[in-house]
């Protein structure tokens, strides 16, 4: 199963997105990373690295991020990751909420990392009205 890491500038938001996605796919391994190590808004590459490493046992790890600097922090985290873990990680360029739900459902169906990532990114095209 593919694991999901949700990265937000807000710890509360990251936990909330994880909670929502977990309701749809409770068996999918997930981690929520938000804020800085001292509790402020922002992102922390070390916390992101730790979350990815927690899910390294999965058949791939998909990272969903809320804003541009979360992408930069995630890319920094990957630079300090052992190659055997880094090779299992993909970053999704899609909406973090809808993408996390779509990715969680695909992962729960046993889909490979490429399909889970595609579902997360395709969520950008979902119509709400």
Q: Residues with catalytic annotation?
A: 9
Predicted structure pTM score: 0.95
Burial 93-111 (b: 16+ CB within 10 A, else e): ebbbbbbbbbbbbbbbeeb
**110 — alpha (psi -120 to 50), left (phi > 0) or beta?**
left
Domains and CATH numbers, the chain: 1-60+68-90 (3.40.50.510)
Arithmetic mean of pLDDT over the chain = 96
pLDDT digits (tens, 9 = 90+) for 63-91: 999 988 999 999 999 999 999 999 999 99
pLDDT band at 35 (very low <50, low <70, confident <90, very high): very high
Two tokens, residue 45: 């590459």
Residue 128 has pLDDT above 80, yes or no: no
Contact 30, 101 (CB under 8 A): no
pLDDT band at 127 (very low <50, low <70, confident <90, very high): confident
Task: Show Cβ contacts of residue 123 under 8 Å, excluding neighbours closer than 6 positions.
Answer: 94, 95, 98, 99, 101, 102
Residue 95 has pLDDT above 90, yes or no: yes
Two tokens, residue 1: 């199963």
pLDDT score, position 129: 80
């Amino acid at each position: 199963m593919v694991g999901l890491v949700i990265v937000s500038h807000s710890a509360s938001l990251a936990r909330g997105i994880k909670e929502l996605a977990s309701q749809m796919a409770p068996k999918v391994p997930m981690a929520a990373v938000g804020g800085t190590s001292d509790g402020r808004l922002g992102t922390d590459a070390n916390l992101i690295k730790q979350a990815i490493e927690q899910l390294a046992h999965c058949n791939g790890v998909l990272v969903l991020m809320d804003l541009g600097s979360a992408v930069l922090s995630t890319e920094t985290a990957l630079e300090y990751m052992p190659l055997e873990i880094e090779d299992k990680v993909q970053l999704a360029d899609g909406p973090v909420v809808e993408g996390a739900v779509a990715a969680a459902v695909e992962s729960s169906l046993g889909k490979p990392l490429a399909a889970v990532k595609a579902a997360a990114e395709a969520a950008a095209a979902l119509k709400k009205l």
